[in-house]
Structure 1
Amino acid sequence: MHPPLLLGCDFSSAPSARKPIVMALGHAVPGGVALRRLERFPSLEVWREWLAEQPAWVGAFDFPFGLPRELVAHLGWPMEWLPLIAHYAGLDRAVIRETFAAFCAARPIGGKFAHRATDAPAGSSPSMKWVNPPVALMLHAGVPRLLKAGAAFPGLHLPGAATRIALEGYPGLLARELIGRRSYKSDEAALQTTPRREARAELLAALDGGATRLGLRLALDDAQRELLVADARGDCLDAALCLVQAAWGAARCTSAGPGYGLPEAMDPLEGWIVTA
């Protein structure tokens, strides 16, 4: 019998064959997590269907699961998570951009965006950002499809007998711990430089050595290591970083509070980034 399936997902709200969703699949091993393989998904529906076909998993997904409470209250949207997601999923992307842009335009410089409580400890972008990175659109594309795939969201939405567990991941949190704010990836060919490749190699060596506060090492073979270092976009490495976060959360599956290493006091509307 295989150990429980662990997933790390580098997400795109508009995937294609050229820029697919990348998922790192693995399983827990003593002291860490072993990378089994990488899967690529050229469309949102293919990704959702694959997740729904797997009977059980714990995954960390690189997109926000909630919006800032301040923003939701200001807009008069539902103040409970599941009705909020249903409302948000029904909005057109252009409406989301216009609504959030109007919210920001009415606020002072330096305080344009509303933030979730998890943003400060995680160092993450506000989940209402619609560009650079468009995490608001990633939430719009990702969370409703995870729900359709039968996922449970600890601290937010737990249907009975949940076997597919979705955690909000953020690879940048783990990467900064290991190599600081050095850039290790770029989608632009002109910026796919030797220093960025060296940063990926250093980051991977630190993961392989278990040099993080999570106390877990990423076990992988030479071919996998070369693949992750060679991927100049960093999608494969980001998926692997999320895989480590999923393994950390899965090891903390308890019945106390939301479990999975999430804080007991997490906001049940906003959500929380695992390991933050």
Structure 2
Amino acid sequence: MPKAALPPLPPLLGCDFSSSPSPRKPIVLAWGRLDADAQTVTLEGFHRFSTLVQWQAFLLQQPAWVGGFDLPFALPRELVNSLGWPSDWQACMQHYARLERSEIRDLFKAFCDARPVGGKFAHRATDGPAGASPSMKWVNPPVAWMLHAGLPRLLALGADFPGLLRRDSTRVALEAYPGMLARELIGRRSYKSDDRQRQTPERAQARAALLEALQQGRHRLGLRLLAEAPQLQTMAADASGDHLDAAICMLQAGWALAQHAAGDALYGLPPGIDPLEGWIVTAPLSRP
């Protein structure tokens, strides 16, 4: 039975984030919409930002959106409790934003140094099911800096954060993770690299396979990605994977918007999640 058509919906966006954007490595934003059949997400275009100020200003100019952002939205409760930081999410993030990165690195390193090998980092409950890196990691990848650079700017936009902070806002921010959906479709095959020496034909083939699967909707989200030929070429040709990752984040936001349109106030996030840690949108409750 076909899904019921949806009422008019806000635009979708997906963001491949960088904590230190530049003209060579910009923040990439995919812009699109969830179609009325609730089965397709149409990619309408990409935007690129070489500074955090430009990125934030663009988001502020848009009156309404539901966005999937590839950056952590929170820290592990175990770490927050150990450091004696506020247990309220907004207060904790405001405290985190006031710290210098050198202070954060020293605090996190001391926390890790006091723990046994194999358990150095604290994890959020969502990290395992999503296959995501601990949000306190400051290197390889430096997701702690992504949290430090991106989340305070989203907070300043007055956005609504389902599961963390409810506001009467037409801008809705969700933590997304493109690697989760990519692994479902092409396994552990690598499809991207920022290192030119590692931008191989094998990775290009993996991007092509991933794009084909996204267009056909061969995944548990049940949504097909619609894009015009130039957009598909942009995603296929970008060996860094940034444009493809932004589109995947947009697709994850589209799934969340469909859940909300069907009556789910949490945009598909599991009920009862930790209000300090949050949850990565579309992540299951346990590791697949």
TM (normalized to structure 1)?
0.97
- Matches of 1:104 and 1:47 in 2, distance apart? 33
- Given candidates 158, 162, 171, the residue that maps to 2:169 is 162
- Aligned pairs (5 A) from 1:13-24: 13-24=19-30
Per the TM alignment, residue 166 of structure 1 is displaced from its structure 2 partner at its CA by: 0.1
Per the TM alignment, residue 148 of structure 1 is displaced from its structure 2 partner at its CA by: 1.1
Structure 1 pair 55/250, CA: closer, same or farther in 2 (3 Å)?
A: same
Query: Superposition RMSD on alpha carbons, in Å?
Result: 1.4
2:16 aligned partner = 10
Please state whether the residue corresponding to 1:27 is helix, strand or coil: strand
Structure 1 pair 183/234, CA: closer, same or farther in 2 (3 Å)?
A: same
- Matches of 2:56 and 2:83 in 1, distance apart? 29
Runs of 4+ in structure 1 displaced over 2 angstroms? 254-258
Please state whether the residue corresponding to 2:42 is helix, strand or coil: strand
Per the TM alignment, residue 171 of structure 1 is displaced from its structure 2 partner at its CA by: 0.3
2:31 aligned partner = 25
**Given the alignment of the two structures, is residue 146 of structure 1 paired with residue 146 of structure 2, yes or no?**
no
2:4 aligned partner = none
Please state whether the residue corresponding to 2:13 is helix, strand or coil: strand
- Given candidates 190, 194, 202, the residue that maps to 1:183 is 190
Per the TM alignment, residue 121 of structure 1 is displaced from its structure 2 partner at its CA by: 0.6
- Matches of 2:180 and 2:239 in 1, distance apart? 19
> Which of 61-70 and 248-257 deviates more?
248-257
Q: Deviations over 1:13-44 (max 9, x none)?
A: 00011110000000012311000000001111
- Given candidates 223, 228, 232, the residue that maps to 2:230 is 223
Per the TM alignment, residue 254 of structure 1 is displaced from its structure 2 partner at its CA by: 6.3
1:96 aligned partner = 104
Please state whether the residue corresponding to 1:137 is helix, strand or coil: helix
Structure 1 pair 204/257, CA: closer, same or farther in 2 (3 Å)?
A: closer
Please state whether the residue corresponding to 1:37 is helix, strand or coil: strand
Structure 1 pair 257/220, CA: closer, same or farther in 2 (3 Å)?
A: closer
- Matches of 1:100 and 1:254 in 2, distance apart? 40
TM (normalized to structure 2)?
0.93
Does the CA contact (< 8 Å) of 1:14 and 1:43 recur in 2? yes
- Matches of 1:223 and 1:263 in 2, distance apart? 37
- Given candidates 248, 253, 258, the residue that maps to 1:251 is 258
The number of residue pairs the alignment matches comes to: 275
Q: Deviations over 1:65-97 (max 9, x none)?
A: 000000000000000001001100000011111
- Matches of 1:256 and 1:28 in 2, distance apart? 16
- Matches of 1:34 and 1:274 in 2, distance apart? 19
